[in-house]
Structure 1
Amino acid sequence: MSDTSLSARDVEAHPDYGTRAIPSEDGKKIDKLLDSHTEYEFGGPVGVVGIMAGFPILMYYLWICLVFYDGQLVFPHSLDDVGPFFGRMWEHIRVDASPNWYAWKVYGGLILYELFLALWVPGYMQEGLPVPSLGYKTLMYKCNALGCVYITWATAAVLHWTGVFRLTSVIDNFGHLMTVAMIVGFGVSFGAYFVTVATGKQIRMSGNFIYDVFMGACLNPRLGPIDLKMWLEVRIPWVIVFFMAVSGACKQYETYGYVTPNMAFMCLATWLYLNACAKGEECIPQTWDMFHEKWGFMVIFWNFAGVPFSYVYSVVYTANHDPELYRFSTFTYVLLFATLLTAYYFWDTSNSQKSRFKMQSKGITEFRRTFPQLPRGTITNPKYIQTAHGNRLLIDGWWAYSRKPNYVADWIMSLTWGLCQGVCSPIPYFYSVFFIVVLIHRVGRDFERCAKKYGDDWARYCGAVPAKFIPGVY
């Protein structure tokens, strides 16, 4: 069986069908090796210190250039200007990005509200993959993000129309909220590390304090029935991203009496992403993030601060500039929206195909139905390579053409988020430039791990699906 490609129908009669997610004995030995710290990533302790210090500085710099320097990158004019230049930068941060009480109320209120909803809103219970560090025990995940998201939207609408909380204030307080988000990101990262070590639940540790804070100490942090890692991945960053776009639209409407197609595009794009994460939440427990990635600064800070305050630069630019500066032709708008929707279709269905394939491998054939369910989201009788490790490698659907079709579509969507403001500013393209670097690095980590885990079976898989991203290109 280890050297043949089979369909689910062929395996369905096998007595091990639906239980092969548990690896063989040799596979367990490999998993034990992979579930231990063997080498440093991200440049080791020095590299992660650079990331932890450098990325917040970069976020402040790009925000300042976007808001106070017409969206253009600025630098000291001369050696004599270095001191005054950094003085001006600091003054913007001190005055316009101070962690004021208003920002704490808004950001802290969102966190508490989302925790409350996650705890009390009914949800769909989804079993995760067997976790090697837990003796291949599977965890249950409460998937109620969709209901929580729509309740949040309804709450925000009521608060806005009654004047209790005007949504325009979100984008007007971007700097203040960003600083609070950074403080929370650092605080939770270090807090999670100390609590995990104090309770003796740390895994895969290097022994270097700052590196372990960055990578994380705990794998499955929980607050009652809430899996904090999954909760944070969906409920905070993408909710803020969406409301940032809605805030920009509200600001345009109050200023000009209409919403530009560019801002409408960002409202649609951010809604698609948020809704997809929420409606397909039961697929998240099948992902690398839940199964292997620990809950450290890399994940925590990025979801609390990085995503919501560095992915929406196009919204900030278009909300604060004359629409005549970035007005497109009708044909360009049609092409822009068509590109977004096409990329979204492939992203949504490729993620669905992979996650449901993993569920099929566990014997699950009935899937949750949420809006929108797109054609080809589930593969009937999927073809795969059965590995000696015990896992299966999908070679059907969009995954027959690329090892990471979801990444390709995801990156194209990120590019459109910059394109929606044209060439007015280079800063909104930060998302797509940064994202491609992250994806290439992530793929390298993933493929290296798979090569160790599957050995010759991985080589067979690479032969069956040679393209990492785009067939015939790369």
Structure 2
Amino acid sequence: MTIESESVWSYVESPSVDGFIEAASYFLIYMIGMFLLSRFLPSIEAKSPKKTYQLTGLYVFILLTILIPIGYYTGNISFLFIIKKFISFFIVINIFAILFSLYLFLRPEAVRSALNAKFPIDYWHGREKDPMLFGVDLKVFFYQPSLIGLALANLSLAEAQISLHGALTVEMILYQSFWYLYLFTHYIREDFMLWTFDIIEDHFGFMLVWGDLIYVPFLYSIAGWYVADNVHSPMSMTRVIITLLLHFIGHYVFRESNWQKFDVRKYGSQVKIWGKKVELLEGRLLLSGFWGIGRHVNYTGEILVYLSIALCSGTVSYVPYILPFSLVILLSQRASRDDQRCRKKYGDKIWNQYCQAAKFRMIPFIY
């Protein structure tokens, strides 16, 4: 990519020994700080199908929501160093992911739990499902530096736009608001993640470590770079309204559909969905709410969320659209695999009955 004189990319410093040391120092302080907050902040007790967890993510999120604006207002906080050391951070965090995954593979508890572990397969997937360190579940903990890291990367891009162009654009305000809402709705129902496949079944190894520390904060914030520089092609009011509607509709479908199934799994059929008693097919398949409309509309909502975020960048590049369009392919294939798995699990008769009620996989009348 060509770096122009008036581009946020002009802030990015070339890698150097001093840059690596500085980036490593910042990152270690950040990880230790996140760990201490997870260990010592008040927690919310939450149960999964396999054990009870102590969750601190909501309190971490609230604390930072209060402290960061105060820090900006008083001039005591700046996150421009994230942009300046972007390449150094990327390299340092990759090295950390490799080394920390090696620690997970070699630590005594892992060796005892998997005596016949095979490298690199078990290095990639992990030996332990729920590794603990000083009373903190590491797999759950790594969500915090991942999602908060994404938030800090986004803030650094907003700060860079102000520093370089003098003000925040409407597109940047939308971009920041969308991501803040995404994190807010995650943390107010943080116990939802305890019932996901990652937490229940996956082991904790390089795949999840790298996904938490690199894939989420670096890839998910990539649209922000283009939003920060797109100051000469402002969105029309019509586009702003369409983008807002797309986001809020997608966000509602994404979260509400997941929460509907989660509430039924957690609390049983006594819960109500949209004010009505829950309807179950053969006592097993949810026919209420979004799950009576489509079999995977949660995927549709998720795609719309990321598409609306990409739309904040306009048409300056195709890069911000890689994430939503890759999800179209991946989640469409997953929806098809899910249907096959459910047909095998529930049997042809029950699954055909369910498909007659929830006729669509992801998009009503289309797919």
Residue in 1 that maps onto 2:331: 439
Q: Does the residue aligned with 1:142 lie in a helix, a strand or coil?
A: strand
Q: What is the CA RMSD across the aligned residues, in angstroms?
A: 3.1
Instruction: Report deviation, 1:237.
Output: 2.1
Q: Of residues 282, 292, 299 in structure 2, which corresponds to 1:407?
A: 299
Instruction: Report deviation, 1:167.
Output: 1.9
- For structure 1, which runs of at least 5 residues remain unmatched after alignment? 1-64, 72-91, 130-137, 366-375
Residue in 2 that maps onto 1:467: 360
Aligned positions of 1:66-465 closer than 5 A: 95=15, 100-129=20-49, 138-161=50-73, 163-195=75-107, 198-202=110-114, 208-233=118-143, 235-319=144-228, 321=229, 323-324=231-232, 326-361=233-268, 380-386=276-282, 392-443=284-335, 446-456=338-348, 457-465=350-358
| Residues 287, 357 of structure 2: 8 Å contact kept | yes
Instruction: Report deviation, 1:360.
Output: 1.6
Instruction: Report deviation, 1:97.
Output: 10
**Aligned partners of 2:345 and 2:125: how far apart in 1?**
21
Of structures 1 and 2, the larger Rg is shown by 1
**Aligned partners of 1:98 and 1:212: how far apart in 2?**
35
What amino acid sits opposite 1:109 in the alignment? Answer: I
**Greater relative contact order structure (CA < 8 Å, 6+ sep):** 1
**Aligned partners of 1:385 and 1:158: how far apart in 2?**
52
Residue in 2 that maps onto 1:22: none
- For structure 2, which runs of at least 5 residues remain unmatched after alignment? none
Over 3 Å counting, the alpha-carbon distance change for 1:348 and 1:141 in structure 2 is same
Over 3 Å counting, the alpha-carbon distance change for 1:189 and 1:427 in structure 2 is same
**Aligned partners of 2:146 and 2:211: how far apart in 1?**
8
Over 3 Å counting, the alpha-carbon distance change for 1:327 and 1:102 in structure 2 is same
Over 3 Å counting, the alpha-carbon distance change for 1:196 and 1:248 in structure 2 is same
| Residues 66, 317 of structure 1: 8 Å contact kept | no
Q: Compare 353-362 and 442-451 and name the one that shifted more.
A: 442-451
**Aligned partners of 1:118 and 1:163: how far apart in 2?**
27
Over 3 Å counting, the alpha-carbon distance change for 1:469 and 1:193 in structure 2 is farther
Q: Does the residue aligned with 1:240 lie in a helix, a strand or coil?
A: helix
**Aligned partners of 1:472 and 1:188: how far apart in 2?**
47
Instruction: Report deviation, 1:313.
Output: 1.6
Over 3 Å counting, the alpha-carbon distance change for 1:311 and 1:96 in structure 2 is farther
| Residues 303, 327 of structure 2: 8 Å contact kept | yes
Instruction: Report deviation, 1:306.
Output: 0.7
| Residues 125, 207 of structure 2: 8 Å contact kept | yes
**Aligned partners of 2:275 and 2:217: how far apart in 1?**
33
Q: Residues 204-259 of structure 1, C-alpha deviation per residue, up to 9 Å, x if partnerless? A: x8x652223222322222334433222223x1222122222222222222333320
Instruction: Report deviation, 1:192.
Output: 1.7
How many residue pairs match? The answer is: 362
**Percent of counterpart pairs with the same letter?**
22
Give the TM-score normalised by the residue count of structure 2: 0.87
**Aligned partners of 1:242 and 1:187: how far apart in 2?**
25
Over 3 Å counting, the alpha-carbon distance change for 1:322 and 1:440 in structure 2 is closer
Give the TM-score normalised by the residue count of structure 1: 0.68
**Aligned partners of 2:319 and 2:222: how far apart in 1?**
7
| Residues 157, 224 of structure 2: 8 Å contact kept | yes
Q: Residues 243-302 of structure 1, C-alpha deviation per residue, up to 9 Å, x if partnerless? A: 222222222223333200111111011101111111110222122222222222222211
Over 3 Å counting, the alpha-carbon distance change for 1:216 and 1:469 in structure 2 is farther
Over 3 Å counting, the alpha-carbon distance change for 1:307 and 1:70 in structure 2 is farther
**Aligned partners of 2:18 and 2:210: how far apart in 1?**
18
Instruction: Report deviation, 1:187.
Output: 2.2
Over 3 Å counting, the alpha-carbon distance change for 1:229 and 1:265 in structure 2 is same
Residue in 2 that maps onto 1:25: none
What amino acid sits opposite 1:418 in the alignment? Answer: A
| Residues 230, 316 of structure 2: 8 Å contact kept | no
Over 3 Å counting, the alpha-carbon distance change for 1:323 and 1:269 in structure 2 is same
Q: Does the residue aligned with 2:142 lie in a helix, a strand or coil?
A: helix
| Residues 124, 205 of structure 2: 8 Å contact kept | yes
Aligned positions of 1:12-27 closer than 5 A: none
**Aligned partners of 2:6 and 2:353: how far apart in 1?**
52
**Aligned partners of 2:235 and 2:18: how far apart in 1?**
36
**Aligned partners of 2:2 and 2:325: how far apart in 1?**
17
